[in-house]
Structure 1
Amino acid sequence: MKVALIHATTTALQPIEKAFQESAPEVELQHFMDTHLLSMMEKAGGLTPEIIRRFSVLVNLAAESEANCIQLTCSAFNNTQKILQPMHAVKLFRSDEAMLDEALAYERIGLISTVKETPIALMSYLREKRPDCIIESLVEPGLIHLLFQGRIDEHDERVRNMIQQMDGTVDVIVLSQYSMAHVADQVQTSVPILTAPQATVNRCLGYLKSHSS
């Protein structure tokens, strides 16, 4: 079985690879990446036709790789899934849909993000599924760049501060990006913390098993 992974940042590689290795080491992973996409989105302030076209190149390559499904790993680009899925027979998963489906079991959902455009994509999914859900959002735009610069401890401390600030004001905390998943193990909170990598792998494996005939 093959899963094609589409990345816009290098920070998503280790979390999703680790989750697959622990749960399904037999699955072959194929990586497709364009690290310029994030800076393009940050400059434009959202999806543009040029960004969608560039992202579609990765999806086309992934589809041509004979993967059994395609998994996005960057939350800010999730809304491309609805645009690009009709063009391909292979299943295309958003990076966060499994995690957000878990979050919808709670009344008040808190989103922690380090890319400005990420909560926009997550909120649109949540409100499409449940229009009356209550969403609180904390975002530090550009904080993810600390990881690119090797300033991991500083990044993690600031994410922990955001989590502690939100703790107690919502029923569940969602770490919106794969790059933050490791921080969940660094804090103790009064509410559950959801991260995407393991939930994503579980969703992929369920799909692969049901379509393995």
Structure 2
Amino acid sequence: MAHRAAKEPNRIDTPLNMAALNGHLDVVQYLVSRGAQVEKGGNDGQTPIHCASYGGHLEVVQYLVRRGARVEIGGIDGQAPIHCASRNGHLQVVQYLVSRGARVEIGGNDGQTPIHCASSGGHLHVVQYLVSRGARVEIGGNDGQTPIHCASSGGHLHVVQYLVSRGARVEIGGNDGQTPLHCASRNGHLDVVQYLVSRGAHF
């Protein structure tokens, strides 16, 4: 499901990951200078650049890239650092990763892309940037859910409205047939429900 995308790194078992997650550049630099591997993952496969991206620590991300960290490295769930940054609304990190070659439609194992993550988190500025870089507003994950499903599930009306303005259909269904209206109704987001109905969603 979309709402599980790019979750917080858990069970972190390397000091470098901990320092990266919390933005301690000096500690990151010291550990790397002493031989810490910049792409060593924790138990969940998250690497230091995933952790720094999740926390929005641009300088740490930039340093890790300079030291050889790949911008599209995947964790166990297949998600890349751009998923982590998008989920938490860290636009500068997203922009930097894209400038270094990260694809805006890269998918995790579940097919979720950065725009799914940004929509789930309600981060309109990131959604707008990703669309400006070519992300499709109706791209589906493996379950067929699109960004408007994600935004509707989270109750992010401003994102829903933007996606509709860019061509997202309010009646689009996932593989299970559920529409954004189902998602908003399930989670009690009345304002989103009202908006979708006003745009022609059937119930």
Q: What's the TM-score, normalizing by structure 2? A: 0.31
TM-score, scaled to structure 1:
0.30
Q: Which structure has the highest strand share of the two?
A: 1
